[in-house]
Amino acid sequence: MERVNKKNKNTGYGAAPVFFTAISTILGVILILRLGYAIGSLGFWGVIFIILLGHLITIPTALAVSELATNTRVEGGGEYFIISRSFGLKIGSTIGIALYFSQVISLAFYIIGFTEAFTPLFNWWVTSFGYELPRQAISIPALLLLSILILQKGSSLGIKMLYIVNFLLFVSLLLFFMGKPVSDSEEFTQLTTSNFTFINKDHFFLIFAICFPGFTGMTAGVGMSGDLKNPSKSIPIGTMVGTLMGLIVYILVVWKLSASASQTDLLSDQFIMSRIAVYGEYIIPVGLAACTLSSAVGSIMVAPRILQAIAIDKNIPFPRFNNFLSKGKGKNNEPFNATLISVCIAFIFVIIGDMNAVAGIITMFFLITYGTLCLISFLNHFGSSPSYRPRFKSKWYFSLGGFILSVWVMFKINSLYTILAYITIIVIYLFIEHSNKNEKGIVSIFRGALFQLNRLLHVYLQKKQGEMENEEWRPAAICISSNSFERNKILQLMKWISHQHGFGTYFHFIEGYYSKQTYTESRKILHQLIQTEHGHKNALYIDTMISPSYTSAIAQVIQTPSISGMENNMVIFEYKKTKPEELNRILDNINLARAGNFDICIFAQSDYPIRNRNDIHVWIRSTDEKNTNLMILLGYIIIAHPIWKQSHIKLFIACSKNQNEQVKDQLSERIAEGRLPITLTNIEIVALLEGQTTSDLIAQKSRLAGLTIIGFREEIIKHNPIDFFNEFEGIGDVLFVNAAQSKEII
């Protein structure tokens, strides 16, 4: 995989820029302009709940990012690089594009917030000239000037600004905490008591959407990964310290605002902090300008680097666009062209100028990104991949909680937008997948987790095997045959059994000793069989078996664990009616299979095509007491397959004339108790005429049946078995059934 960024090892930064980028973005426009309004709307505890809920999403994400960053070599592209190198370029590009737009829109958001620092100017303008000056008169030139400076100076200018901005922000907060309440009157004291209750709960998630961008700064520093000396060390330290410090400051500011201003002041004055802070009319606008400008610098540095990294990996389905966006300037490969595109997009949202609307859009983009990062972290934990060895370790339940909360909050904010957002993500993924078919896709994310889940389920089912023996029976059938490509019907039968109610494993038998040559042959055959069945909906598991003889192959197969988690309980043999000599090796090995207490089925294939529009005939004789329920259940299980949807199960009961009514009543009661789809009209009592054999009767009644199920006893194997199985030449496909023990129809 191509490297995203080649940086000069002597010019990398440490953890400080990561921390300062994060903290200046966290303690930004939301803290100064919207936190007071949130307290006035929801009260102290309502906003505390917003802060805690937001950090229950952002902290697991910060932990996940830190963990992923210490598991792989991190270069340019931040979170995009981390995701793409962990789970492939398709997933990385999809989430990277969402993250890119969230950062670009954030740039516009912070520029709009920066404009609010000039509120005294706008007020003076209205007083002097009698009309309002559009906010865009400041925001558009500010974005243009910032863009020119970044394009000319690169990331070095942004890093220098971070230290100055954070110093001004620190001074602003210090003077704010040193400030006094806006009023010392007794009336004010009574008013502020309401600030410490949870009020107006109906607007909680609307205000959450407005406030959440203030918490998203914790990953801002990750986007600088290409400019760091040691990203795997700097990212966890800078991200986690910034996140925790931001949480503490937010709680303290909420407390200070709640105790210093009335609900009316909080709702009506977005610059309420300036009325509380010492020299607030000067320092708070300066602090706002500093932090919003810093956040804007962070976004304008991060977003283009994500886009450049995606283009360098050639994940945009337009080669010329990839070449254009991947080009940089200078020894650090500054993303010049990607910055141009990002600024153009940001201009659109700056022109819109509505801070609350832009905040809501940012929230949805960030929640999708954070939720995905948490999900990836959880799947890494659960999958327990040997290649996942991060030096910084989180806990799986943090990541799972962050994912669930992010999805839940999105739906609470706006269900329609959430659905549209996820549809957009899916469309982006499918578009990228179409143009990058050779890269790892979404399957790679879930493979390890599915393997782990499968292992845990198998162990659990094995431990519960004793309890399951008393539960209802279902087939877990195994079949071995060397005629996979010559005969299609046995594969069809196995698919019918394993479609809905049962499990099936089919082995292609390769006669010979295990060697490199036979192993290579088995892999080719297995691939061919899987490709043949690809696109057909079935739950049949296919494998190969190399063994010196048919007998040794049977011995191996019947000891093979079932993929279903329950023990295999049925062995199905197959032969072709026109080749009765194949019966000999089946009959020689039936006792071997019966030693394991398996139910035995022998499938006799005719040359007729499958008659799936005809009924399945089940023949019950007086000697089939142990086989009866198994034959009925197999008929029901097979007919559940869609190929038999126009067919029915028909029972034929062969008995003497004087037993007709008694046998019919007993069978009707059994079917009714078992709730099987067999009606009395599908039960036929057939009396043998004098001199007539059962095989003649079956040949007469089931000549056109889709499948005929006939039971046989163990004694048949001991006395003239060839004659018994060859008696049914006049009908189509036959499934001979011998139950190891009687089954109960529940």
Mean pLDDT of 415-429: 83
- Tokens 């010979």, residue? 512
Q: Using the predicted structure, report yes or no on whether residue 476 has a pLDDT greater than 60.
A: yes
Per-residue pLDDT band at 437 (split at 50, 70, 90): low
Q: Is residue 623 part of a domain?
A: yes
Contacts 24+ apart (CB under 8 A), 161-164: 161/293, 161/294, 161/297, 162/17, 162/20, 162/21, 162/24, 162/294, 162/297, 162/298, 163/20, 164/290
Domain identity same for 438 and 475: no
Report the distance separating Cα 690 and Cα 336, nearest Å. 99
Q: What is the identity of the amino acid at 671?
A: I
Is the pLDDT confidence value at 698 over 50? yes
Q: Poorest-confidence range of 107-116, 187-196, 616-625?
A: 187-196
Average pLDDT over residues 475-485: 91
Report the C-alpha gap between 574 and 595 in whole angstroms.
19
Structural domain contains residue 6:
no
Domain count, the chain: 2
Q: Are residues 319 and 287 in the same domain?
A: yes
At residue 699, the pLDDT reads 87
Q: Is residue 564 located within the same domain as residue 436?
A: no
The reply to whether 713 and 644 lie within a common domain is yes
Backbone angles phi, psi at 504, to 5 degrees: -145, 140
Q: Is the pLDDT of residue 190 over 50?
A: no
Please say whether the beta carbons of 1 and 90 come within 8 A: no
Chain segment 528-575, per-residue pLDDT in tens: 988 887 666 778 889 999 999 999 999 999 988 777 667 889 999 999
Residue 745 maps to a domain: no
Residue 440 and residue 510 share a domain: no
Together in a domain, 477 and 565: yes
From 25-34, 154-163, 430-439, 514-523, the region with the lowest mean pLDDT? 154-163
User: Could you give the angle at the alpha carbon of 70 between the alpha carbons of 64 and 76, nearest 5°?
Assistant: 90
pLDDT tens readout for residues 657-669: 666 666 667 666 7
Mean pLDDT of 333-349: 87
Average pLDDT over residues 630-659: 85
Looking at per-residue pLDDT, the higher value among 458 and 343 belongs to 343
Looking at the predicted structure, is the pLDDT value of residue 14 above 60? Answer: yes
Residues 374 and 518 in one domain: no
Q: At 594, which amino acid appears?
A: R
Q: What is the mean pLDDT of residues 383-397?
A: 70
Domain span at residue 711 reads 466-738
* Statement: residue 1 has pLDDT above 50: no
Instruction: Specify whether the backbone of 248 is left (phi greater than 0), alpha (psi in -120 to 50) or beta.
Output: alpha
- 722 Cβ contact partners less than 8 Å away, ≥ 6 residues apart: 580, 583, 584, 587
pLDDT band at 4 (very low <50, low <70, confident <90, very high): very low
Residue 462 has pLDDT above 70, yes or no: no
Verify that 556 and 419 share a domain, yes or no.
no
User: Binning pLDDT at 50, 70 and 90, where does residue 511 land?
Assistant: very high
pLDDT of residue 523: 93
376 in Cβ contact with 83 (< 8 Å)? yes
pLDDT of residue 733 exceeding 90: yes
Strand partners, 600: 571, 738
Confidence of residue 519 (pLDDT cuts 50, 70, 90): very high
pLDDT at 440 over 70: no
**Bridge partners, 13 (sequence order):** 228
Of 145-159, 311-325, 656-670, 710-724, the range with the lowest mean pLDDT is 656-670
For position 164, which CATH number holds? 1.20.1740.10
Cα–Cα distance, 414 to 426 (Å, whole number): 18
Residues in the chain: 746
Look at residues 478, 485, 484, 509 and name the one whose alpha carbon lies nearest to residue 572.
478
Residue 5: the pLDDT is 46
Nearest to 667 by CA among 659, 400, 65: 659
Q: Which residues contact 49 (CB under 8 A, 6 or more apart)?
A: 42, 198, 204
Is residue 473 assigned to a domain?
A: yes
Confidence (pLDDT) at 743: 82
Res 648 pLDDT > 60? yes
For residue 667, being part of any structural domain is answered with yes
Mean pLDDT in the chain?
81
Whether 8 shows a pLDDT value over 50: the answer reads no
| Stretch among 380-384, 425-429, 611-615, 635-639 having the lowest mean pLDDT | 380-384
**Do 499 and 421 share a structural domain?**
no
Q: What is the mean pLDDT of residues 307-322?
A: 80
What CATH code is carried by the domain that includes residue 516?
A: 3.40.50.12370
- Residue of 523, 559, 520, 556 whose CA lies nearest to 542: 523
The model's pTM: 0.63
Position 441 scores a pLDDT of 56
H or E element that contains 120: helix 119-129
Specify the pLDDT at position 612.
84
700 with 558: CB under 8 angstroms?
no
pLDDT category of residue 252 using cuts at 50, 70 and 90: very high
Are 374 and 61 within 8 A, CB to CB?
Answer: yes
Strand order from edge to edge, sheet including 503-511: 541-547, 503-511, 476-481, 570-576, 599-605, 734-738, 707-711, 616-621, 649-655, 683-687
* Position 167 in a domain: yes
**Angle at which helices 231-260 and 15-26 pack, to 10 degrees?**
30
567 in the same domain as 437: no
C-alpha distances in Å from residue 542, one per residue of 7, 505, 523, 623 = 50, 6, 12, 35
pLDDT: which is higher, 365 or 630: 630
pLDDT at 388: 64
pLDDT score for 617: 94
Asked if the structure places residue 578 within a domain, the reply is yes
Percent of the chain with pLDDT over 70: 80
Same-domain check for residues 418 and 505: no
187 pLDDT tier (thresholds 50, 70, 90): very low
- Alpha-carbon distance 312 to 1, whole Å? 11
- pLDDT confidence of residue 493: 93
Domain co-membership, 74 together with 183 = yes
Give whole-number Cα distances, 420 to 17, 382, 415, 423, 426, in Å. Answer: 36, 29, 9, 5, 10
Residue 8 lies in a domain: no
